[in-house]
Amino acid sequence: METANVNRSHWSSRWAFILVTAGSAIGLGNIWKFPYMTGTNGGSAFVLVYLLCIVSIGLPLLMAETMLGRRGQGNPVAAMGAVAREAGLGRYWKIIGLIGVTGALLILSFYSVVAGWILEYTLRATSGFDGITKESAAAGFAGLLADPLRLIAWHSLFMVMTVFVVARGVTGGIEQANKIMMPALFAIVLGLIGYGMVTADMPAAIRFMFHFDVSAITREVVFSAMGHSFFTLSLGMGAIMAYGSYLDKGTSIVRTCFYVAIADTAIALLAGLAIFAIVFAKGLAPASGPGLILQTLPIAFSQMPGGSVVGPLFFLLVVFAAWTSSISLLEPFVALLIERFSFSRKRAAWATGGAVWLLGIAVALSFNEWSEVKLFGLGIFDLLDSLTTKIMMPLSGLLIAVFAGWMMQRRHVEDEIALGGKGFALWRTTLRYVSPIAIVAIFLHVIGAVG
Ligand code: PHE
């Protein structure tokens, strides 16, 4: 059945929607990926482009994707089918939903492995990282990557956790989980910033992230920053569309999306500051890559009073942040199986989770046994990361901008985005011109067609 289902579950309030959507947006992207990408992409240059992308592409698209979900009232594929029909267009627009639901599963396969690292570090942190040094921290992380069974065990646990919540349903599972985990996360990030101010090198961190050295902006920086702005706002992967489909008609999309974008950006910047303050105070390398937080934070926790309590607490909250995001990566496909193939929610969640779990095993092995397996010069982990964040997300984002900006009837858009006068015109213009042109320009750059 592709017809919209009017009896779908709905979030219990406007705040619930903000919370779950922020829960989707705020995740490993903010606390793990943003700091290491900033580190490997020249610091402030990356931050500057990232912020520009959030404002000019990310936020307008976040609103557009939420709108498509709510208007379409269905899983991403059905929702796109419904809005396309309403606009008098063909079924091929469902491709947006398809790219989304499959991309989300690909992301989840490596996301879960990384979340597994964090689970391991939650456990390690309970011993306080006594006597850890720069060298032993790096060796400790390398040791984890070299151990396939450990990686797979943690990945399995994390997938079970994710499936468990999604199997419980929209309000009973997803909303409940977010209501507990999100406020705790905010508190601990603020605490860590406080620590950075008092004992670490906050001025150096601020300089590194905000002196805005325009000359350091390279093609790679621009492409990475755009990809990351999609990743961090959960765009183009059906997650936002699925969550939007559970949103009440009366809630303001503009206001809620605005809060989500602000919260997401704030957490990324704060996490970045806290981590770089420690990096510079301890003479660590900002460009050390995906292991950055796992090589820096243990050193801080080993030295701070009460570190063996704060440490595990912090990593646990990163697990929570990852969890609320992974739920949103699984839900779109699960909703599709339920609505289109009449699966029970339980069966849909376990079946999808099982498939993603298998792919995740390949990801885990790509760090050790299968490290030689390469496609286009990339290992399995890097390949899935690049394919999703650098290609599928921008492509889907482009199609969403074109659809919402050019294809939908204006009165339907106005009906959803109740933003009078100038605000509406600004949003629509950005969506119609700025976002697509920026995405296409960046694509062309990368393909080397221009510049
Ligand atoms: N936004 C999440 C994060 O930053 C990741 C994510 C991407 C979640 C796409 C859902 C969809 O960690």
User: Cα(73)–Cα(248) distance, rounded to whole angstroms?
Assistant: 10
- What are the tens digits of pLDDT across the range 166-218? 998 777 767 777 777 777 788 878 887 887 788 788 999 999 999 988 888 88
CA-nearest of 267, 269, 310, 274 to 292 is 274
Residue 2 pLDDT greater than 50, yes or no: no
> In testing the pocket of ligand 1, which one of 38, 62, 232 has its CB within 8 Å of the most ligand atoms?
232
To the nearest 5 percent, what fractions of the chain are helix, strand and coil?
A: 80, 0, 20
Q: Does residue 328 line the site of ligand 1, with CB under 6 A?
A: yes
Strand partners, 375: 378
Tokens of 263: 């919260």
To the question of pTM greater than 0.95 for the whole model, the response is no
pLDDT at 3 over 80: no
Ligand 1 midpoint to CA 320 (Å): 13
Residue 147 per-residue DSSP state: -
Predicted confidence at residue 16, as pLDDT, reads 85
Amino acid at 260: V
Which residue is closest in CA terms to ligand 1's atom 7? Answer: 234
Question: Distance, CA 307 to ligand 1 centroid (Å)?
Answer: 29
In this prediction, residues 135-150 reach a mean pLDDT of 95
Mutation test residue for ligand 1: of 37, 329, 333, the one with most atoms within 8 Å of CB: 329
Q: Is the CB of 229 under 6 A from ligand 1?
A: no
317 lines ligand 1 (CB under 6 A): no
- pLDDT tens per residue across span 21-78: 999 999 999 999 999 999 999 899 999 999 999 999 999 999 999 999 999 999 999 9
Average pLDDT in the 221-236 region?
A: 93
What pLDDT is stored for residue 31 in this prediction?
A: 92
The predicted-structure confidence for 409-419, as pLDDT tens digits, reads as follows 999 999 999 87
